[in-house]
Amino acid sequence: MKKIALTIMEQLTPKYIQVSRIEFEGPEIAIYVRNPKALAEHPEVAKEIAKKLKKRIVIRTDPSVRRSEKETIEVIKNLVPPEAGIKEIKFDHVLGEVIIKAEKVGLVYGKGQSIYNKVLAETGWRMNVVRIPPVDPKDLSTLNKIIDYMLSQSSYRLEFLRSSGERIHRGVIFENRYVRITALGGFMEVGRSAILIETSESKILLDVGINPSGIGYNLYPRLDIDQLNLEELDAVVVTHAHLDHIGLVPYLFKYGYRGPVYATKPTRDLMVLLLLDLLDIMQRSGQKPPYTQQEVKKMILHTIPLDYGEVTDIAPDMKLTFYNAGHILGSAIAHIHIGEGLHNIVYTGDFKFGRTRLLDKAHTEFPRVETLIMESTYGDRDQPRRDEAELELISVISKTIARRGKVLIPVMAVGRAQEILLVLVDALRKKLLPPETKIYIDGSIKEVTAIHLTYPELLSAQVRARILRGENPFDHENIVRVEGRQMREDIAKSDEPGVILATAGMLTGGPSVEYLRLLAPDPRNVLVFVSYQAKGTLGRRILDGEREITMVDEEGKPQLVRIQMEVKSIDGFSGHSDRRQLLAFLANMKPKPKNIILNHGEPQSIHALAETIRRRARHLGLPEDIRVYTPTILDTLHIAGVA
Amino acid sequence: MKKIALTIMEQLTPKYIQVSRIEFEGPEIAIYVRNPKALAEHPEVAKEIAKKLKKRIVIRTDPSVRRSEKETIEVIKNLVPPEAGIKEIKFDHVLGEVIIKAEKVGLVYGKGQSIYNKVLAETGWRMNVVRIPPVDPKDLSTLNKIIDYMLSQSSYRLEFLRSSGERIHRGVIFENRYVRITALGGFMEVGRSAILIETSESKILLDVGINPSGIGYNLYPRLDIDQLNLEELDAVVVTHAHLDHIGLVPYLFKYGYRGPVYATKPTRDLMVLLLLDLLDIMQRSGQKPPYTQQEVKKMILHTIPLDYGEVTDIAPDMKLTFYNAGHILGSAIAHIHIGEGLHNIVYTGDFKFGRTRLLDKAHTEFPRVETLIMESTYGDRDQPRRDEAELELISVISKTIARRGKVLIPVMAVGRAQEILLVLVDALRKKLLPPETKIYIDGSIKEVTAIHLTYPELLSAQVRARILRGENPFDHENIVRVEGRQMREDIAKSDEPGVILATAGMLTGGPSVEYLRLLAPDPRNVLVFVSYQAKGTLGRRILDGEREITMVDEEGKPQLVRIQMEVKSIDGFSGHSDRRQLLAFLANMKPKPKNIILNHGEPQSIHALAETIRRRARHLGLPEDIRVYTPTILDTLHIAGVA
Ligand SMILES: [Zn+2]
Ligand SMILES: [Zn+2]
Ligand SMILES: [Zn+2]
Ligand SMILES: [Zn+2]
Ligand SMILES: [Zn+2]
């Protein structure tokens, strides 16, 4: 620390910037300055420091040079054009940030950050602008809660950043003697994803999910081994906001973890929303949740958001970089660089190597890769083409509406819901569906969609362009938001046809299960699966042919439900790569890995994929002696280091 | 503890035995009694307790009822016949044991333990009789040192036994959630054998060897991973006294280990002898040993000797049983029973499934087995028949002697040395060699041979019978013991032919290397390898064709030695099972394992053996879905428990 501070103060910053002190703040080095004007006028100085030190730099102003709130608001209002649509301005006195909620983020920052730099120079405050999309304000309630909570706990957060910063930069004690990967969950199965990466220096977790269908030990990843000691844990890296990857993150805080959680910004927001929603559903259905809102709040304060492509120190011998995974909003492929070139791991998380309406396809180029950990959900089968899938969906809906039935589409709140909404809105606009077709959406879909509108820069070019034009591509006048049990029953009982999008996507609880019970007896209705149904879930059981199901009615009594509605599964909408896309990802990947570890798939998918990769290694451009590993839970692989 | 004590005192022991207290002493439950007479007269009481509790029982007398040393010696002298040849009587007042060194152990104990029981009843002292073979007393010096040292540290030892007893019986806290095996050394290689067995309750090490040829990290097994915490280690199990299995045991004590080391009695004795010898050689050759005599002494005090077939609690959820491995004196196959039937592991250590002159072949029947960890040294090749090998050796010696050359046979002090001695002595007796053929033995061979004579009951029927008749089957009038450098040089320079047996067996140091330097230039001489030469050793390099070697001369100067003596390798003497024997062991094994983990072999041996086992699974009577694992260092396999 001292060495870095001296270097910065004596060699890297010109005297006129007036550096008052240097602090570690999480993965960043914070430089406190007394002359923000000089720095704003010479932005190249900060860039130069970051480049020289190979560290992330944040510039903070000394509190003594910050102007009053009133004066600062005045400066901002004078500089930012009214079209920017500023809704709210708040001040974080601890971090020296002014948080601005606005409709057009770009207009607030100004061209080439010009307004940002002027505000900093004149007031000493750094602007942090959050996009407020044009939606029903209650759809933004979780987002607003996160912002307000972080603001209220600003001192705690600064302290956390300082202590984790010290830890990250603690310096390497041992040589790099080993890199080991332990399968804690989501190996030879889909669900409860969790991977331990361990070196002689540090330990990190990649994802900490729950099993949507699990019971007992199967529900959680195996955090119970001695090898994983929460006090020794340096970081938790979260690839995307699906419960099978994030469901147990707050649990770590319950058991004493106080380190950072790295995620993209949208993953953080979606994660909070989904976890609070999960707690809510568990409480209402009488289940005992493994943690409370308190731990979700701790998690918020300990989450460090990262942008794609941002190289970040997360342990003395590890750097993390996220890349787009194309799976859902904010989903990331994690690249981990270990020990000055010793080893590089790419963990795909869930990924889609194919364009969807919503997202660009997954990134394939990395600075270096020796070991690839790859999901294998569809390792044994191809999926139909996307346009065929859309045609089939529209045709099923049309037929059902013609016979005055209802279409129930269980969807995960994040990802599939938005994709299907885009398809349906498009079909309505193109009049491929009868103009009176109502689309009911239930569960947290609306709020999740609002979060999508907050991050247009992460969506596909087409969707982004429409959002930036001020449109809401997920909305249509025929869309009806459903709230409460009574409304559900009314919809189910009415004679009007319609399409219902409801969570959970695998019928593991939530409104989709309520609709199923109400709609099951009528053969005019249809249940349409558009996503992967994990083993053990109700969705999978029905897909596998089960037609008599015991469910709980409104009064909590068990009831035998006979499924007489039609059951359909339309493949091709998946957010996962199918077999062809998995192989294409390998063929396109640069550079090629030496080891491939397959996870996130049922045994037959994983074995089939392993076989295919070995057989086609040369054709895929992989080394001919490629090692393909198919570990099971609690196995540990030693992938690098000395023998 | 309290529960067990109450059960013993109130239900299992008749009042007249007068139990004064109950203690855990290592794996045993010690019952202290005030009326040894009653117990000696009712030996069935102790047996009954052991059976009921499924624990090992040791009976100790209350110090208050023990008679004086003088009176006790009187009683013993009156009861034991003079032919027993008592040499020495010592008293251990802490443990209440009288240690008797004698020529004929059986005569001291009496028929059916009759004298033992009488001495106990009349004096309150338990006899512990040690066999003193008729050899040069200096060959017994290590043995005597062990006995004397243990006696002098009797209080420490009792305290250690008590504390480790408490720990072993600490009770199971967690359910049995996992059983994991981690490769620390000796996987895909021969050398530095070490295996970590880990459950949710406990952790044990199987063997802790060094690599005879290693440098840097390769020298030691990988004890540097966080998963292995010496404070959490419950036990060290040692299968046999070869340096690649025991070389680093004292190192554990240097770094704070204070738990038990389980080994057979001869393994303990040989281990001490070899480790002290190793320290000596390292010091004399200027190497820095990884530990000192102090740690070897600590190891002696912490070693708990076990007989073959004795089921012993070594952790709250683990029972250990040793079985004959047929490899060297005292070598054991370790059977580990985990968690009331959850899982059973058989670790072969080094084993010979074939009779040798010295030992019976390895045991094949076990109460239960799910996972077999098997050595694979000769997994890819068969060895010639033993009688052919003997004929070849005799013929090579005869030819060399005829041309007035010398035969240098590098041997490991333990195992091969005694086998070859038996062959040579037999050949001399049968006049297959010229009557004047001198056999020089150098290194610790003599002392090791004396230890063999101490444990006739563990040797083959033929050798045992001769020893019990008072013969020394390893001795002959032509055998000359060599001591010191000068004598070596004289032998080398003299024009007399002869056979030299010298350690180390792989030319990694010791007198064999000195002889090599002296004998190498003369083409009349021959170097004969009779055992496995590990990768990286000088032995292996010469075997692979290297003929110019840099060696250090008497004055410590490097010297280029050109090997012009003949080099021969005679296969068939190995103490390891060859390919045929490895497969025969599997075919004979009862019951059959579900998992086989291969270790202790070079990659080509292990891969070949894995292939053969998979292909012949049905033919070997193994389950057709047998899983054969070939892990590399630092891999961990999860072999049992919940998913
Ligand atoms: Zn996902
Ligand atoms: Zn997933
Ligand atoms: Zn630990
Ligand atoms: Zn051995
Ligand atoms: Zn060995």
Domains annotated for chain B, with CATH where assigned, are 2-64 (3.30.300.230), 66-132 (3.30.300.20), 176-381+576-638 (3.60.15.10), 386-569 (3.40.50.10890)
Measure B601 CA to nearest chain A CA, in Å: 15
Q: A198 — contact with chain B (CB < 8 Å)?
A: yes
* Cα dist from B506 to A633, B400, B409, B514, B567, whole Å: 41, 22, 10, 13, 14
Pair of tokens at residue B276: 């002290």
Quick one: CA dihedral A457, A459, A461, A463, positive or negative?
negative
Strands A558-562, A548-552: pairing is: antiparallel
| Residue B600, marked binder | yes
Distance CA B187, CA B603 (A): 9
Distance CA A556, CA A640 (A): 54
Q: Are A445 and A394 in contact (CB under 8 A)?
A: no
**Do B180 and A225 lie within an 8 Å CB cutoff?**
yes
The pLDDT, as a whole number, for residue B593 is 98
A220 to chain B: nearest residue by CA? B643
Q: How does DSSP assign A385-444, residue by residue?
A: -HHHHHHHHHHHHHHHHHTT-EEEEE--TTTHHHHHHHHHHHHHHTT-S-TT--EEEEST
Say whether B457 sits in a helix, a strand or coil. Answer: helix
**Do A634 and B180 lie within an 8 Å CB cutoff?**
yes
Q: A627 — contact with chain B (CB < 8 Å)?
A: no
Q: B627 — contact with chain A (CB < 8 Å)?
A: no
Distance CA B110, CA B583 (A): 43
CA of A344 to the centre of ligand 2 (A): 22
| Among B177, B218, B637, beta carbon nearest to A643 | B218
Tell me which residues have their CB within 5 A of the ion that is ligand 5.
B 244, 350
The pLDDT, as a whole number, for residue A215 is 57
Distance CA B227, CA B273 (A): 31
B633 contacts on A by Cβ (under 8 Å): 638, 643
CA of B372 to the centre of ligand 5 (A): 17
A141-152 vs A293-302: helix crossing angle, rounded to 10: 70
CA of B240 to the centre of ligand 5 (A): 8
Q: What is the end-to-end Cα distance of chain A in Å, rounded?
A: 33
Q: How does DSSP assign A435-481, residue by residue?
A: TT--EEEESTHHHHHHHHHH-GGGS-HHHHHHHHTT--TT--TTEEE
The pLDDT, as a whole number, for residue A214 is 61
Q: Residues in chain B with pLDDT < 50? A: none
| The residue to which tokens 């394939």 are assigned | A364
Quick one: CA dihedral A603, A607, A612, A617, positive or negative?
positive
**Do B217 and A177 lie within an 8 Å CB cutoff?**
yes
Distance CA A163, CA A422 (A): 44
Q: What is the end-to-end Cα distance of chain B in Å, rounded?
A: 33
Measure B203 CA to nearest chain A CA, in Å: 10
| The residue to which tokens 């879909």 are assigned | A445
Query: In Å, how far from its chain's centre is CA B92?
Result: 26
Distance CA B347, CA B371 (A): 8
**Do A200 and B224 lie within an 8 Å CB cutoff?**
yes
* Cα dist from A245 to A210, B320, B469, whole Å: 7, 41, 73
Distance CA B612, CA B357 (A): 29
Q: A178 — contact with chain B (CB < 8 Å)?
A: yes
Q: Which of B619, B521, A593, A487 is nearest to A502 (CA)?
A: A487
Distance CA B408, CA B525 (A): 8
A265-284 vs A141-152: helix crossing angle, rounded to 10: 110
**Do A227 and B224 lie within an 8 Å CB cutoff?**
no
A637 to chain B: nearest residue by CA? B635
Q: Residues in chain A with pLDDT < 70? A: 1-2, 214-217, 643
Q: A603 — contact with chain B (CB < 8 Å)?
A: no
| Among A178, A225, A232, beta carbon nearest to B634 | A178
Distance CA B364, CA B502 (A): 33
Q: Which of A203, A635, A637 is the best mutation test for B, with the most CBs of B within 10 A?
A: A635
Q: Which of A203, A223, A227 is the best mutation test for B, with the most CBs of B within 10 A?
A: A227
**Do A636 and B633 lie within an 8 Å CB cutoff?**
no
Q: A224 — contact with chain B (CB < 8 Å)?
A: yes
Q: B173 — contact with chain A (CB < 8 Å)?
A: no
CA of B229 to the centre of ligand 4 (A): 27
CA of B411 to the centre of ligand 4 (A): 12
* Cα dist from B503 to A377, B444, B496, B531, B539, whole Å: 58, 8, 21, 12, 12
* Cα dist from A360 to A354, A355, A459, A461, B595, whole Å: 7, 5, 7, 8, 45
Q: B16 — contact with chain A (CB < 8 Å)?
A: no
Q: Are B16 and B121 in contact (CB under 8 A)?
A: no
| Among B180, B217, B635, beta carbon nearest to A642 | B217
Q: Are A65 and A34 in contact (CB under 8 A)?
A: yes
Pair of tokens at residue B7: 């059960």
The pLDDT, as a whole number, for residue A569 is 96
**Do A226 and B222 lie within an 8 Å CB cutoff?**
no
The pLDDT, as a whole number, for residue A49 is 85
The pLDDT, as a whole number, for residue A217 is 56
Q: What is the CA radius of gyration of chain B?
A: 25
Phi/psi of residue A124, nearest 5 degrees: 80, 5
CA atoms within a 13 Å half-sphere pointing along the CA-CB vector of B32: 14
A602 contacts on B by Cβ (under 8 Å): none
Strands A303-305, A86-92: pairing is: unpaired
Strand partners, B32: B21, B60
So what's the ipTM on this one? 0.80
CA of B350 to the centre of ligand 4 (A): 5
**Do A636 and B636 lie within an 8 Å CB cutoff?**
yes
CA of A61 to the centre of ligand 2 (A): 42
The pLDDT, as a whole number, for residue A130 is 95
Q: List strands edge to edge, sheet with B126-131.
A: B86-92, B97-102, B126-131
